[in-house]
Amino acid sequence: MTMQQPGAGPEPHDLTARTGAVIEQHSRLEGPLLPILHGLQAEFGFVPRQSLPIVAEALNISQADAHGVASFYHDFRAAPAGRHVLKLCQAEACQSMGSDKVAAMVKQALGIGFGETTKDGSVTLEAVYCLGLCACAPSAMLDGEVIGRIDAEAIEDIVAEVRT
């Protein structure tokens, strides 16, 4: 996923053209809305509110429907994320191996909670419910890379990396 500086939103004309290109790429699929929303997030780093009326028009659905779908799914962001995105698994198998302690340490080190981005825009921290790495818990995903059996040393490495 491409990331963007917070606040650095695309110019209106640029947004229309780029949104149109994403729609064009997926419009011939059966049920194209989710692929389009994924495409927009890949393009902009989030799903810009201003893109939704353009999508609604192209797919002949109401703006309310487009907004309803974009806001239903946890993945679609309404605002840009930090330069890094760190997801910590908090589901049961990871809980059994102390994922709550990992979360507490990371939150303290970064000074943010789940669903928040550091002030310098370096990292967004998120809880995730299962990465399928349950036999090497506790686990995490940093910018799409999987990490298993997280211990204090791994947390140090992760924190150092996201601060860059």
Partner 1 sequence: MTATIYIPKDSGALALGADKVAAAVEREIVARGLDAKIVRTGSRGMYWLEPMVEVGTAKGRVAFGPVKAKDVASLFDAGLVDSGKHWLSLGDPEKIPFFARQTRLTFARCGVTDPLSLADYEAHGGLAGLRKALATTPADIVRTVTESGLRGRGGAGFPTGVKWKTVADQTDSRKYIVCNADEGDSATFADRMIMEGDPFVLIEGMAIAGVATGATKGFVYIRSEYPHAIAAMNAAIDVARKAKLLGPAILGSPNAFDMEVRVGAGAYVCGEETSLLNSLEGKRGVVRAKPPLPAIQGLFGKPTVINNVISLASVPVILDRGAAFYKDFGMGRSRGTIPIQIAGNVKHGGLFEAAFGMTLGEIVNKIGGGAATGRPVKAVQVGGPLGAYFPPSLFDTPFDYEAFAARDGLIGHAGIAVFDDSADMLKQARFAMEFCAIESCGKCTPCRIGSTRGVETIDKIGAGVEREKNLALVTDLCNTMKFGSLCALGGFTPYPVMSAINHFPEDFGPRDVATAAE
Q: Give residues in contact with partner 1 (CB under 8 A).
A: 29-35, 37-38, 59, 65, 68-69, 72-76, 91-97, 128-137, 139, 141, 144-149
How many angstroms separate the CA atoms of 65 and 42, rounded? 21
Question: What's the min distance (Å) between Cβ of 3 and partner 1?
Answer: 15
Closest CB to partner 1 among residues 141, 159: 141
> Are the CB atoms for 121 and 6 separated by under 8 Å?
yes
Q: Could you tell me the smallest distance in angstroms from the CB atom of residue 117 to partner 1?
A: 17
111 vs 129, beta carbon nearer partner 1: 129
Q: Smallest gap, in angstroms, from Cβ of residue 10 to partner 1?
A: 21
Structure tokens at 96: 């059994």
The smaller minimum CB distance to partner 1, of residues 92 and 120, is found at 92
Q: How far is the CB of 77 from partner 1 (least distance, A)?
A: 11
The Cα-based distances of 40 to 15, 36, 92, 124, 136 in angstroms read: 10, 6, 32, 19, 33
The tokens describing 38, both together, are 């994924």
Question: Is 99 or 117 the residue whose CB approaches partner 1 more closely?
Answer: 99
Q: What's the distance, CA 125 to chain centroid? A: 9
From first CA to last CA, the distance across the chain in angstroms is: 18
